[in-house]
């Protein structure tokens, strides 16, 4: 792991980013970066946390949009069915689109 992680505070619009503990809230930080960050932000979290930690945290994430889920499934070579968010989405009935 590198010593510091520099991410734009705009990724954490709903909290005080200056008080964010990147190690204790790793899943939150990684989730925000994969859904809203740039390629540079993605590379920064891979360098900071390591590929295995990013993979493990995202496998346990409760919500990922479809595009992000597809990207992570492809990147980590894991079927979508191994992601917690996919399992939760399948077990929650959706309204019909007419």
Does residue 13 sit within a domain? Answer: no
pLDDT at position 4 is 81
At 12 the pLDDT is 92
Q: Does residue 31 form part of some domain?
A: yes
Distance CA 1, CA 54 (A): 12
> Is 98 among the domain residues?
no
Structural domain contains residue 64: yes
Number of neighbouring beta carbons within 10 Å of residue 31: 21
**Count of domains in the chain?**
1
Q: Residue 97: inside a domain, yes or no?
A: no
Query: What residue numbers bound the domain in which 48 lies?
Result: 22-91
Structural domain includes residue 8 = no
Residue 48, H or E segment: helix 39-49
pLDDT in tens, 64-94: 999 999 999 999 999 998 989 888 877 666 6
pLDDT digits (tens, 9 = 90+) for 27-43: 999 999 999 999 999 99
In a domain, 10, yes or no: no
Is residue 47 a part of any domain in this protein? yes
pTM recorded for the entire structure = 0.83
């Amino acid at each position: 792991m590198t010593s510091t992680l520099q991410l734009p505070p705009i990724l954490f619009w709903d909290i005080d980013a200056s008080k964010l503990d990147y190690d204790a809230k790793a899943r939150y930080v990684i989730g925000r970066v994969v859904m809203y960050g740039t390629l540079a932000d993605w590379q920064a979290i891979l360098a900071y946390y390591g590929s295995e930690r990013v993979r493990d945290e995202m496998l346990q994430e409760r919500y990922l949009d479809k595009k992000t889920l597809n990207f992570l499934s492809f990147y980590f070579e894991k079927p979508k069915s191994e992601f917690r968010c996919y399992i939760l989405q399948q077990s929650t009935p959706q309204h019909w689109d007419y």
